[in-house]
Structures are given as C-alpha cells and as structure tokens.
Structure 1
Amino acid sequence: MSGLPLKWAIAGDGTSVAYRDSGGAGVPVVFTNGYATSTYYWDGLVEALGAEVRAITWDLRGHGRSKAARDPQSLTVAGCADDLRRVMDAAGVERAVLVAFSFGCQIVLEAWRLMPERVMGLVPILGPFERPFDTLISPKVGPQLYEVFRRVRPQWAGAMLKAGAWSGRMPGVHFAARLTGVVGRGVRAEAMRPFYETLGGIDAPSWHALGLAAQDHSARDLLETIDVPTLVIAGGRDVFSPGELGREMAAMIPGARLMWLEEATHTGLLGHPEPIAAAVRTYLKAFHTPPAPAVSRERADVVGA
C-alpha cells in the first residue's frame, strides 16, 4: 500500500486526513488503525488478501501522514467514525467491510452507530469495545495509568512520545518487550521499527485527546444490535486489550465468530499474519457475489423472443 498515491479526505474540523486506495475490483475493505500506530500495521494483511479486496487504509488525525487535528476537542470516537465516513465518501465507496485494530475497534463499532447502512461487515482485531484503560495490563494498573495520563499536559505528552521513539533504538528494549509479553515472541525488532518511528511524528495534542476520548467511550449498547457478519480476533497473551474482551464482544454480537489466538500479544498482526489472513480470507468469501448461471443459446433465444 505504501507505493500507492496518497489521497485526502477532509475532517469535520477541516483537517486533511490521508488515505490510500488500492482501487481493486474486490470486496471494499477499509482498515482502521489503532492508537499511536499508522497504516504499516496492515501491510502484511493487505498483501496477503491481494486482489480479493479493494483495500483502503487511512491515518487518524495527528498520526502518520494525516495532519494534526485543527480542533483536538473534536477528536472523540464519534468524530473518528465521522472521519472514516468521510474517507469512504472521498474514495467513492458506498458500503464496505470495516476491519480495525486496537482502538480502531471502538471507531468501527461507533461507525455502526453512525452509519449502519454503509457497513457490510465488521472485523475487530485485538481491540476493546469500551474504556480501554480499565483493563490495560490489569484492572488495578490501567485505571491508575489513566489518572496519570489524564493529568498530562499536551506538551508533556509530546515528550512522552519522543521518549518512546528514542527508546526503540536502545539495545535490549526489544528483548525486554518480548520477555514481558508486550511484543510477541515471533516479532522481530525490524518489524517494530516503524512503530517507534511513528511515535516520534505523532501530534501530541491529537494523541492526548484521542486517549481521553477512548476512555470516555463505550459501544456495549451497540453490540446486540449488530446484524452484519462479524469476525472477532482476540489474543490470549494480549496485555493491552485482553483476549477476554474479544470473547465477550463476540458473545454479545448475534452470530459473531471468534478467532482465538492463544499465543498472540497486542502485536498479533505482526506475529501471526498467516492465520489472521486465512481467517479474514475465509470470512470475506461471504461477500463475493457468485457468477450468474450460464444461459444456453436456446434459452436465450426464448427469452429474447
């Protein structure tokens, strides 16, 4: 996807939102990023799906190639869902399957509230449906981290992002991240490099506003109303969005399927690309329109008479 031309949608506050569109003839699929990430997380999955999908990837305001939010206060989860709608409008896509990672899961669930008629299906991957700090690391640790985060001024948040980007270059950091389960055992340091590079370029006010918005949001009331094909992918070793959240989400969505990856951490898209791609490919078969049956010449002559 990185080789495709960059295109732009305009958010409600006037911010330029970057997206890329493969323009393929397959099932339209919009991929929504997680918090503090960019579209590189989707490269492996998009490549594996190939011509089966028309892949559209986009960056949240203040992240990746998108510009800093002109009005950070508009960066609610509903505001991000509206950004997603505007990306679809700009791409000329009326309906699409919405695939999301981490915080992006809250966004696509909110998109169901905003525009259910435009949602063909949902694939939440390794993400929550409400208040992510409540279960971050543990029910005791996460809320305390949120209280610290809530009090951080935007300029301090920028320093935190720069420190995170710098730490990625320190010897031993990747080993420690794998040892503690933050990063999956099969994820190489090279695969994580774009993550650290992205951290350094994130707009701090946008990042801070999104963190607050995520914690204020819940899609619990929406889950039982979802009536499109849904595949939930959860990781058994995910400390950022515990797999049990995915299990609960799948149980509450009528007819949803659950893919459980016992060894997956929050970096499951990088550490388990093959099984995830296989599951998504199987899921997408439901959206392929079978070819119309051939009509014999004799029958055609009768119909045309």
Structure 2
Amino acid sequence: MSGLPQKWAIAGDGTSLAYRDSGGDGVPVVFTNGYATSTYYWDGLVEALGDRVRAITWDLRGHGRSQAARDPQSLTVGGCADDLRRVMDAAGVERAVLVAFSFGCQIVLEAWRLMPERVMGLVPILGPFERPFDTLISPKVGPSLFEVFRRVRPEWAGVMLKAGAWSGRMPGVHGAAQLTGVVGRGVRAEAMRPFYETLGGIDAASWHALGVAAQEHSARDLLETIDVPTLVIAGGRDVFSPGELGREMAALIPGARLMWLDEATHTGLLGHPEPIAAAVRTYLREIAPAHRAGTSQPETEVAPA
C-alpha cells in the first residue's frame, strides 16, 4: 500500500494520524499495528487479499508517519481505540472488519467496547487481550521487565529505541534472534529491516506511554460479549504473546475460530504469510457474509493451509 496517497485523521489530542485507504468495493478491513511497528507488517497480507477487501492501514500516535502524541497521557488503550474510530470516520467507513497484530489486538478489542455497532468482525493475530508483560518470555521475567520499563524516563526510552535500531545492523543479531525464538526461522534478515528502521523513528514519550497503558489494560470482561465473527490466530513458538493466550481468547469468545500455527513466533506474519492469508480469505468469504445475514458460527479450529 506504499504507493497509495497518504491521508490524515485527527486524534482527540489534536495529533495527526496517518492512514492509507485502498478504496474499492471489497469488504472494509482496518489493519491495526502492533507496538513499535508500522504498516509494513501488513504489506504481504494486504497484497494476498487483493481486491476482495478495501484495506485501510494506519499508524499509532508516535509511530510510522503519524505525529508524536501531543498528550502522551491520553495514549491509553481506549484512546487508541478512539484513534481507530477517527480513522474510520475520516475514511468514511461505517462498519469494518478489524484485523490486528500484537498490541493492536488489545486496541481492536477495546474498539468493541467503544463502538460495537461499527465492528463487522475481529481477527486478532499473535496478540494478547490483557497485561502483555505478565506473559512476556515467562511469568517471572515479564513482570520484572515491566517494573524496569515503567521507571524509565522518556529520554532513556529514546536511547533504548535508538539502541534497538542500531542493533539491527550488527552482524549476527538476526541469527541470534532466530536461535532465541524472537524471530522465526523462516524470516529473512531483509524482512526485518523495516522493523529496525521503524524503531529509530518512534517518539519515545508516545512509546513509553503506550507500553504502560498496555500493561494496565484488560479486555477479559469483553470477550464473552463479542457476537461478531472472530478468527483468532496464535503461534506455538511466540515468546511475546504466547499461543495459549490466543487459545484462551478463542475459547472465551462465543463462536470464535482458532487458527493454531505450531512453528509461528511473534514474527508469524512474516514467516507464515501463506497460511495466514488463506485463513483470512476463508474468514472473509464465509464468516463476514454469514454475519451480515445474521447467522451464527460454531466454534471451529482452523487447520493451517
């Protein structure tokens, strides 16, 4: 979608939100990024879905092409859900399927709380529904990391981001990331370059506020209320958002489908693009029309294509 014109919505604090809209007559699908990522993560999936969708991608405040948050304290998960709503308003989209990756899953679940009448369906991919640091790496490691992160001053957060961007250019880093399970074995170093480039441009205050907000948020109370077609995609080797969280999410959402990818790490969108695209195509073809017709769907586990 990089060739499409850049468009803008305005967040509640006056920050400019960057988005792109493929247009067309396909099912409107809004793609919400993860923490510390940008819209490049969606390129392969959007291309694979083709003109069957009207694809709208956008950047969180302080990320990608969106401006730094004018009021970082407004960067709650609910505030991000309101940003999503404003992007839909700017694009003239009344109802859409909400597809999300990682932290974006918390945002689209919160969007269900904010505007359920505008949600046609949900596709959370490799993401949590609450307190992501509780299960980051392990229940012992993640909370300790959060306590350190929470105390970091924004200027030091900026140093951390710059260090992360710089590390991506060091020889051997990609191989080490694959050995530790951070990056999938089938993901090439070239595919990760946009990630490191994005890190260097993230606004530190926005990034830090979002990390704290994510840990303070839970959508558990919402899951049993969701009554739109939902496809949850989880990875068996994901150390950032363990696959069992996805399995639990799918079990708690009435009628949700679960796609389980045994070998997928948190980089599953890059390492397993074909089966994910196939599952989303099936979802859009079979589930979204059924929802519009007012029918219900039984809970099903979707086997990798």
What's the TM-score, normalizing by structure 2?
0.94
Structure 2 portions without partners, runs of 5+: 291-305
> How far apart in 2 are the matches of 1:180 and 1:124?
24
SS in 2 for 1:232: strand
What code does the residue aligned with 1:152 have? V
**Structure 1 residue 151, shift from structure 2 partner:** 0.3
Number of the residue aligned with 1:283: 283
1:210 is aligned to 2:210: yes
The list of structure 1 runs, each at least 4 consecutive aligned residues, that deviate by more than 2 angstroms after superposition, is 286-290
> How far apart in 2 are the matches of 1:191 and 1:70?
32
Deviation readout 1:179-198 (Å, 9 max, x if unpaired) = 11000000000000000000
> How far apart in 2 are the matches of 1:177 and 1:212?
25
Number of the residue aligned with 2:8: 8
What code does the residue aligned with 1:189 have? A
Per the alignment, do residues 154 and 236 of structure 1 end up closer, same or farther by CA in structure 2, a change over 3 Å counting?
A: same
Deviation readout 1:43-88 (Å, 9 max, x if unpaired) = 0000000000000000000000000000000000000000000000
Deviation readout 1:70-115 (Å, 9 max, x if unpaired) = 0000000000000000000000000000000000000000000000
For 1:236-247, list aligned pairs within 5 A.
236-247=236-247
1:60 is aligned to 2:57: no
SS in 1 for 2:247: helix
**Structure 1 residue 24, shift from structure 2 partner:** 1.7
Number of the residue aligned with 1:297: none
Preserved contact between residue 120 and residue 229 of structure 2 (Cα < 8 Å): yes
What code does the residue aligned with 1:143 have? P
Number of the residue aligned with 1:171: 171
Number of the residue aligned with 1:293: none
Aligned-residue CA RMSD in angstroms?
Answer: 0.9
How high is the sequence identity, in percent, across the aligned residues? 92
What's the TM-score, normalizing by structure 1?
0.94
For 1:1-305, list aligned pairs within 5 A.
1-286=1-286
> How far apart in 1 are the matches of 2:5 and 2:58?
12
Preserved contact between residue 120 and residue 288 of structure 2 (Cα < 8 Å): no
What code does the residue aligned with 2:98 have? L
Preserved contact between residue 33 and residue 58 of structure 1 (Cα < 8 Å): yes
Preserved contact between residue 27 and residue 287 of structure 1 (Cα < 8 Å): no
Structure 1 portions without partners, runs of 5+: 291-305
What code does the residue aligned with 2:171 have? P
Higher alpha-carbon Rg: 1
